[in-house]
Amino acid sequence: KGIKMSHVFPRNNLGPAPVAVAGDGCYLIDSDGRRFFDGSGGAAISSLGHSNAKVASAVKDQVARLAFAHTSFFTSEPSEELAELLVKNAPGDLDRVYFVSGGSEAIEAAMKLARQYYVELGQLKRSNFIARRQSYHGNTLGALAAGGNRLRREQFFPLLFDVTHIAPCYEYAERSDDESLYDYGQRVAQELEDEIVRLGPDTVIAFIAEPVVGSTMGAVPAVEGYFKRIREICDTYGVLLILDEVMCGMGRTGHLFACEEDKIVPDIVCMAKGLGAGYQPIGAMICSSGIYKVIETGSGFFQHGHSYLGHPVAVAAALAVVQELFSKDLIDRSKLMGEKLQKALLEKLGQHPHVGDIRGRGLFRGIELVYDRNEKTPFAPELMIASKIKAAAFDAGLLCYPMSGTRDGKKGDHILLAPPFILLDKHIDEIVSKLSAAIDVAIS
Ligand code: PLP
């Protein structure tokens, strides 16, 4: 039940949405008192659950002390403190943090910074970005151009600038039987070098990728060696590596930065969702000291900005979020509980005739649904399996994030799980039992 005479522009036309009125740990509560277990953290956002007292009081304190100070005049205490904390824990020489208000803004800033870096170096011919099919980098026009999510791009295609898309690293569906995991990874990484050479190495600015692909494919990490080869290729041609950790970063995969597991360091990394954990809208881009130095000693000014850059209340919330991650060991907890969740999913669904793959890292898990398990054949898109699972799970009091188009933007279905890091063992049972019942309702 929801509000029938609404003037709110809704997210979809599936009928009036229930009204969320409260959050309690891992649960959201609607105006009828129904409780929903947040098995996807919205869209991998609410990593601390919905009623963290420390973050709530950091927000209240900051808004009472200093609500806003424009970044063209001032920096702020929480921005300085959070930037220091992030850089101290970031890999390699990632050194300067640019705070924005969400993931798409972080990607836009990264793309513009990468272009300006080469302008400052006098390499004006560099104007191309390369990204991957079956990826998502945000809904603003630059980020949408970079992304390879067919469904989200389709109707805006004429407005999007050209970005070439190479293969994702998606071994479940695209590795051939006679190929080792490693060889497969090297083969698809080679597409980057081929594309750089095709475009002309002196025309390419950057390669953009999600270390663990989120909404478009459902928690798909790359195979061993893939990102090492990608890093080598970028270094060979002076192409910047931009990693999009908007969804998979900030502890979600069991590391503060997802790329730590792939043992590579990007030139620029973007984050958002788990940074504010839903308590405030915030995103960030961190660039290497080398990139920053070129701007600092060049024009001295990144030609970019928004009114709400580094908003003190948003940054204060994010500072409290990251402090909670460390003080409560929640990043290790994400890894541990993620492994338990994987085990429980495998036990319940590992032999299910329509579950093809269960994958992911930490508390970032994907379940790919198939019509035929042996042949890995997807369901016909008209069956709308993903939407049916979402509806059935919602009715059962479970929020999860199913999507269609897993294989190629049209075919394929998966369910993304990204529960709060504070979940308990009993919550794993709740997720798995409600989800498997929802799958059976949707497929029956
Ligand atoms: N990049 C990735 C990997 C995402 O998953 C998303 C959002 O889902 C974005 C970028 C865009 O972030 P936002 O929705 O905060 O603009």
Q: Please report the pLDDT score of residue 2 as a whole number.
A: 63
Average pLDDT over residues 300-323: 98
Q: Is 399 helix (H, G, I), strand (E, B) or coil?
A: strand
Using CB atoms within 10 Å of the CB of residue 124, give its burial: 0 to 12 exposed, 13 to 18 middle, 19+ buried.
Answer: exposed
Q: Please report the pLDDT score of residue 292 as a whole number.
A: 98
Q: Please report the pLDDT score of residue 5 as a whole number.
A: 81
For all residues of the chain together, what is the average pLDDT?
Answer: 97
Span from the CA of 46 to the centroid of ligand 1 (angstroms) = 14
Query: Is pLDDT at 1 greater than 70 in this prediction?
Result: no
pLDDT in tens, 119-134: 999 999 999 999 999 9
Orientation angle between helical segments 53-65 and 312-327, nearest 10 degrees: 150
Cβ contacts of 231 within 8 Å, gap of 6 or more: 241, 264, 265
Q: Residues lining ligand 1, judged by CB closer than 6 Å?
A: 43, 102-104, 107, 136-138, 210, 214-215, 244, 246-247, 272
Span from the CA of 386 to the centroid of ligand 1 (angstroms) = 20
Contact 278, 317 (CB under 8 A): no
Average pLDDT over residues 187-197: 98
pLDDT in tens, 2-21: 676 889 999 888 888 999 99
Nearest CA to ligand 1 atom 6: 138
DSSP state of 291: H
Bridge partners, residue 166, by sequence: 132
- Can you give the pTM of this predicted structure? 0.98
Contact 217, 366 (CB under 8 A): yes
pLDDT in tens, 347-387: 999 999 999 999 999 999 999 999 999 999 999 999 999 99
Q: For every residue of 265-287, which 3-state class applies, written as one string?
A: CCCEEEECHHHHCCCCCCEEEEE
Backbone angles phi, psi at 359, to 5 degrees: -145, 180
Using CB atoms within 10 Å of the CB of residue 54, give its burial: 0 to 12 exposed, 13 to 18 middle, 19+ buried.
Answer: middle
Phi-psi region of 424 (alpha: psi -120 to 50; beta: other; left: phi over 0): beta
Q: Closest ligand 1 atom to the C-alpha of 283?
A: 15
Locate tokens 């039940």: which residue? 1
**Residue at 204: amino acid letter:** V
Percent of the residues in the chain that have a pLDDT greater than 90, as a whole number = 96
pLDDT band at 444 (very low <50, low <70, confident <90, very high): confident
Span from the CA of 89 to the centroid of ligand 1 (angstroms) = 22
Average pLDDT over residues 31-59: 98
Query: Is pLDDT at 44 greater than 90 in this prediction?
Result: yes
Query: Is pLDDT at 115 greater than 60 in this prediction?
Result: yes
Q: What is the C-alpha separation between 407 and 174, in angstroms, rounded?
A: 9
Residues in the chain: 444
Q: Please report the pLDDT score of residue 265 as a whole number.
A: 98
Average pLDDT over residues 165-177: 98
Q: What is the C-alpha separation between 135 and 406, in angstroms, rounded?
A: 10
**Residue at 158: amino acid letter:** P
pLDDT band at 111 (very low <50, low <70, confident <90, very high): very high
pLDDT in tens, 86-107: 999 999 999 999 999 999 999 9
Locate tokens 């293969």: which residue? 167
Q: What is the C-alpha separation between 113 and 292, in angstroms, rounded?
A: 9
Contact 147, 136 (CB under 8 A): yes
Q: What is the C-alpha separation between 402 and 404, in angstroms, rounded?
A: 7
Contact 403, 216 (CB under 8 A): yes
Residue 352 parent element (H or E): none
Percent of the residues in the chain that have a pLDDT greater than 70, as a whole number = 99
Strand order through the sheet with 35-38: 20-24, 27-30, 35-38, 398-399
pLDDT in tens, 202-211: 999 999 999 9
Contact 285, 98 (CB under 8 A): yes
Nearest CA to ligand 1 atom 14: 103
Query: Is pLDDT at 251 greater than 60 in this prediction?
Result: yes
Span from the CA of 137 to the centroid of ligand 1 (angstroms) = 6
- If one counts every other C-beta atom within 10 angstroms of the C-beta of residue 161, the result is 12
Contact 244, 137 (CB under 8 A): yes
Backbone angles phi, psi at 269, to 5 degrees: -125, 140
Average pLDDT over residues 336-357: 98
